[in-house]
Amino acid sequence: MSEEPQLTGKIKDKLIATKEQWAKDGRALTGQSAKPEERLPPGQRLTKDFPVLDLGVQPNLTQKDWSISAGGQVKNALKWSWADFMAQPQQTYRNDIHCVTTWSRYDNDWLGVPMRAFLAAVQPLPSAKFLMIKSFDGYSTNLPLADVDRDDVFLGHTWNGAGLTRDHGGPVRLVVPHLYFWKSAKWIRHITFMDKDQPGYWEVRGYHMRGDPWPEERYG
Ligand SMILES: Nc1nc2c(c(=O)[nH]1)N[C@H]1C(S)=C(S)[C@@H](COP(=O)(O)O)O[C@H]1N2
Ligand SMILES: [Mo]
């Protein structure tokens, strides 16, 4: 068993309860749809800073403590250390972030490892259709395999020219820019490949199984 990292902070029970209530109330739903050419999805507003959103506990991880592993419906269950990870192809990305709490942030510059490099190493079985992502803070989120098997999805370690800070999920977070940002798990730890979809942390609490911002898949 690997050691559990120390967690800094306290679970934000109030914030979690508020967000759960938003799902019940359908908060921020406009009933309108928009097209990606319009750049700002319905019900979103632009911000220039980079808000921090999580459960309130942040793992104290060094590059040495961090690793990513995969299991479930795969041909090659694996575990990458930081060195294994950094030996993978690196790529730059620029994207927009859309958080379900209604802030959006344009033009984020990233450096990371393409998710397709990870998938190529893992070799999901034909039965694998969904992923459950697990993080070092106990967070989880689910995604269809088709939504990570894309050119714009990556495991990010650098944001706007500097190593990803702990509050934004450093050393490594998942980035899935075409879905609401709660799918972009910070402090990513393990990916389970599954034949059936299962809800993660927010999905259990009323949030959408997929989370496409254009048709406002906020709640489900
Ligand atoms: N491990 C983990 N990842 C997480 C979260 C979390 O609580 N724990 N929160 C999610 C939510 S709700 C959002 S909006 C984004 C926020 O990322 P940021 O703090 O870098 O802005 O991270 C997502 N990934
Ligand atoms: Mo969020």
For the stretch 83-96, pLDDT in tens is: 999 999 999 999 99
CATH 3.90.420.10 for domain 7-205, yes or no, is yes
Q: DSSP letter at 219?
A: B
Token digits for 83? 């060195």
Looking from the CA of 81 toward its CB, the CA atoms found within 13 Å total 4
> Which of 57, 181, 188 to mutate to test ligand 1, by most ligand atoms within 8 A of the CB atom?
181
Tokens of 140: 């989880």
pLDDT, one tens digit per residue, over 12-70 is 999 999 999 999 999 999 999 888 889 999 999 999 999 999 999 999 999 999 999 99
Q: In this structure, what is the dihedral angle of CA atoms 163, 164, 167, 173, given to the nearest 10 degrees?
A: -150
Cα–ligand 1 centroid distance for 87 (angstroms): 26
| Ligand 1, atom 2, residue with closest C-alpha | 186
Query: Given the CA of residue 19, which atom of ligand 1 is nearest to it?
Result: 12
Determine the distance separating the centroid of ligand 2 and the alpha carbon of 213, expressed in angstroms: 12
Structure confidence by residue, pLDDT tens digits, 54-106: 999 999 999 999 999 999 999 999 999 999 999 999 999 999 999 999 999 99
Bond from prior residue into 171 cis (ω within 30 degrees of 0): yes
Give the helix ranges, DSSP H, for the chain: 13-25, 82-86, 115-122, 201-204
Q: Which ligand is nearest to the CA of 201?
A: 1
Residues 6+ apart with CB under 8 A from 119: 148, 149
Domain range summary for the chain, segments of one domain joined by +: 7-205
Compute the C-alpha angle 120/123/129, nearest 5°: 110
Tokens standing for residue 72? 């479930």
Ligand 1 midpoint to CA 100 (Å): 11
Q: Percentages helix, strand, coil for the chain, rounded to the nearest 5? A: 20, 30, 50
Calpha distance 181→205 (Å, rounded): 16
For ligand 1, which residues put their CB under 6 angstroms from it?
A: 50-55, 99, 135, 137, 139, 168-169, 181-182, 184-187
Q: Interior CA angle at 45 toward 41 and 46, to 5°?
A: 100
Q: In the chain, count H helices and then E strands.
A: 4, 13
pLDDT of amino acid 33: 84
| Residue 2 confidence class, pLDDT cut points 50, 70, 90 | low
